[in-house]
Copies of this chain bind each other. A is one copy, B any other.
């Protein structure tokens, strides 16, 4: 599982170096099992230096989490903004999501590992992000209804929730938990079910 946090290999400042090292560590272990010393070592800096850039371990973790969440969200938002064909947009989102997961680009898997339930503030922020995302997808669904791609009697919000669940749980589950590849026919099946349902046609 190669971690590819900085694929463009730009010149990195100490601050970002530490951030990326921290993400790698938080991907390997629990928040509580990662020590600041380990992060410093992986970043190749001294222990004290971490505190030059991040006032505490908790703050550092927050930044890691935001960083990853933002990457994730942005890839969604990007697609949502240039929609013309809803079905195609959905497929694009799925593909981008899959690619991020399989490349573990920008530590996307952190979202699957760490649940910052103990940092109330961060938890609230996550919920907010989720709402934004859901709102965006719901809007996409409504656009689909307008474009007559989607049935007009569909509950747009529920459809949005379901679409997110498919991305996050179905695809994520296969890759992160089963540690398997997602085959193209699986995506087709998934989209087929989303589009036509599983019910026998009367």
The chain A residues found within 8 Å of chain B, CB to CB, are: 29-33, 113, 115, 117-118, 127, 130, 141, 144, 148-152, 154-155, 158-159, 161-162, 164-166, 168-170, 173-174, 177-178, 185-186, 189-190, 192-201
- In the bound complex, CA of A150 to CA of B201 (Å): 8
Going nearest first, the 7 A-B pairs with the smallest beta carbon separation are A197-B197, A155-B189, A195-B199, A165-B169, A32-B32, A196-B197, A158-B189
For residue A94, give the distance in angstroms from its CB to the closest CB of chain B. 13
Q: Which residue of the partner chain B has the closest CB to A90?
A: B198
Contact check: which of B30, B117, B152 meets A118 at CB < 8 Å? B30
B148 & A200 in contact (Cβ 8 Å cutoff) = yes
- In the bound complex, CA of A32 to CA of B31 (Å): 9
Contact A155 to B193, CB < 8 A, known contacts A32-B30, A149-B200, A177-B130 = yes
For residue A112, give the distance in angstroms from its CB to the closest CB of chain B. 9
What are the residues of chain B within 8 A of A154 when measuring CB–CB?
Answer: 189, 192-193, 198
Q: Which residue of the partner chain B has the closest CB to A161?
A: B170
Contact check: which of B151, B155, B166 meets A199 at CB < 8 Å? B151
- In the bound complex, CA of A65 to CA of B141 (Å): 38
Q: 15 more A-B contacts (CB under 8 A) besides A151-B196, A195-B197? A: A29-B117, A33-B118, A113-B115, A151-B199, A154-B192, A155-B193, A158-B186, A159-B198, A161-B170, A161-B174, A162-B165, A164-B169, A193-B197, A196-B197, A197-B197
Q: Which residue of the partner chain B has the closest CB to A119?
A: B30
B118 & A186 in contact (Cβ 8 Å cutoff) = no
What are the residues of chain B within 8 A of A196 when measuring CB–CB?
Answer: 151, 196-197, 199
- In the bound complex, CA of A80 to CA of B190 (Å): 23
**Sampled A-B contacts (21; CB under 8 Å):** A29-B118, A31-B32, A32-B32, A115-B115, A150-B200, A151-B198, A151-B199, A151-B200, A154-B189, A154-B192, A155-B186, A155-B189, A155-B193, A158-B190, A158-B193, A162-B165, A162-B170, A193-B194, A194-B198, A196-B199, A197-B197
